[in-house]
């Protein structure tokens, strides 16, 4: 395929610095994922200055970027035909007749574009990309008809990625919806199932996990940390950090299939976060901020119990009994064990756990599909801005 000439962006763009003055306009912010968003919608309240006279005008299909965050993709194109205004900190870029704004936007968000941006960012502490430096970035510049073709292909591929993300979001809501459908309300005496305390359903484990100084990390046995939790599960065992541990420590703090770990010390957002341990390919220990329990009664399915621990009622119990300080919150075993737990018939619990397994398998397929779509889109971006698409 023919390779198109590469030219500096300065030949195709100009900076817009016009101020709003006494005029009125919609005030926007630029986000990494959603592009231009009305500031009032983004923050649910007015956070911009009451005096917007110094705000910069943004025209239809102008691009705006945060000079301190463009290196992580904080750049967008305005689709509002009435235009708008943004904080004076933003740089406003308008394309001349030889460059399509959407072609430029795709380039600036591509890996090739971001690499160019990072090479030109100033500042040792906080990166800054001034317009003059943006103007020096080289870009493949095909004729407009070719740009239109490339933009159409990239937009179609990006639309598929967004549809995949929407489907993933719906799937993520399936398990909570299924729990509510099968078992109904669970808190404040609303449950019509028999209620037991958590302590009646589990065995005592260590009040806290293994503490090691950071110098111990490197090789050895994997250690489970709070950042590996997602929606009651452990996300990726292969990504866990490793440390040196003695046989006695592995014996005391080792994890086994269907153990439940609960985060006991952290900010209120993460306090009580829990996960069910899956099949383990090798021994794993858990860190000091967690406590471990094992289900001991035949009347409770671990897959049901871990989902109950994700409910608002379980989290409310934990936060209500937590001890709070300036920097963190904490809860002990006894406070967790007194939590009331509805216990539906075991057959219903097993059916719920079976359907959760099916949903998780579907999520895994969707994740693989999303990974393939992302790889395809990145490949198309690379080819487009190397003159090969």
Domain 6-141 sits in CATH 3.90.220.20: yes
| pLDDT exceeds cutoff 60 at 46 | no
The pLDDT of residue 325: 80
Q: Could you tell me which residue, 330 or 266, shows the higher pLDDT?
A: 330
Percent of the chain residues past pLDDT 70, beyond the cut = 94
CA distance from start to end of the chain: 8
The full length of the chain comes to: 389
* Residue 323, strand partner residues: 330
What is the residue extent of each domain of the chain? Answer: 6-141, 146-173+344-389, 194-342
| pLDDT exceeds cutoff 50 at 341 | yes
Fold for 194-342, please state it.
Adenine-n6-DNA-methyltransferase TaqI; Chain A, domain 2 (3.90.220)
d(CA 48, CA 42): 11
pLDDT tens sequence across 162-218: 888 888 888 888 988 999 899 887 665 667 889 999 999 998 778 788 887 777 788
User: 72-86, 119-133, 255-269, 297-311: which has the minimum mean pLDDT?
Assistant: 119-133
Q: For the chain, what is the mean pLDDT?
A: 87
| pLDDT exceeds cutoff 80 at 41 | no
Q: Could you tell me which residue, 183 or 42, shows the higher pLDDT?
A: 183
Average pLDDT (320-338) is 86
**Phi then psi for 27, rounded to 5 degrees?**
-90, 125
Would you say the pTM of this structure is higher than 0.85? no
Same fold, 6-141 and 194-342: yes
295, 301, 307, 313: CA torsion to nearest 10 = -70
| pLDDT exceeds cutoff 70 at 233 | yes
């Amino acid at each position: 395929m023919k390779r198109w000439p590469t030219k500096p962006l300065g030949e195709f763009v100009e900076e817009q610095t016009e101020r709003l003055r006494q005029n009125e306009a919609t005030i926007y912010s630029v986000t990494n994922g959603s592009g231009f968003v009305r500031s009032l919608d983004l923050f649910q309240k007015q956070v911009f200055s009451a005096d917007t006279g110094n705000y910069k005008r943004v025209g239809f299909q102008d691009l705006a970027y945060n000079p301190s965050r463009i290196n992580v993709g904080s750049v967008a194109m305005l689709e509002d035909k009435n235009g708008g205004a943004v904080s004076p900190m933003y740089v406003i870029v308008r394309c001349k007749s030889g460059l399509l704004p959407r072609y430029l936007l795709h380039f600036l968000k591509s890996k090739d574009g971001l690499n160019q941006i990072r090479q030109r960012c100033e500042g040792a502490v906080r990166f800054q990309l001034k317009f003059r430096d943006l103007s020096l970035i080289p870009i493949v510049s095909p004729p407009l008809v070719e740009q239109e073709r490339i933009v159409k292909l990239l937009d179609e591929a990006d639309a598929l990625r967004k549809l995949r993300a929407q489907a993933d979001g719906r799937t993520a809501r399936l398990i909570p919806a299924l729990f509510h459908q099968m078992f109904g309300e669970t808190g404040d005496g609303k449950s019509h199932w028999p209620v037991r305390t958590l302590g009646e359903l589990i065995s005592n484990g260590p009040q806290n996990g293994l503490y090691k100084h950071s110098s111990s990390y490197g090789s050895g046995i994997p250690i489970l940390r709070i950042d590996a939790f997602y929606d009651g599960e452990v996300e990726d065992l292969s990504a866990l950090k490793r440390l040196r541990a003695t046989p006695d420590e592995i014996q005391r703090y080792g994890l086994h299939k269907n153990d439940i770990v609960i985060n006991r010390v952290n900010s209120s957002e993460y306090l009580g976060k829990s996960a069910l341990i899956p099949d383990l390919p090798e021994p794993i220990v858990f860190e000091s901020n967690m406590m471990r329990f094992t289900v001991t009664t035949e009347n409770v399915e671990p897959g049901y119990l871990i989902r109950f621990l994700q409910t608002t009622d379980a989290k409310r119990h934990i936060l209500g009994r937590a001890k709070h300080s300036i920097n963190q919150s904490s809860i002990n075993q006894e406070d967790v064990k007194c939590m009331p737990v509805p216990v539906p018939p075991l057959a219903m619990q097993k059916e719920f756990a079976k359907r959760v397994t099916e949903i998780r398998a579907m999520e895994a397929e969707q994740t693989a599909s999303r990974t393939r779509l992302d790889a395809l889109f990145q490949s198309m971006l690379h080819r487009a801005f190397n003159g090969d698409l």
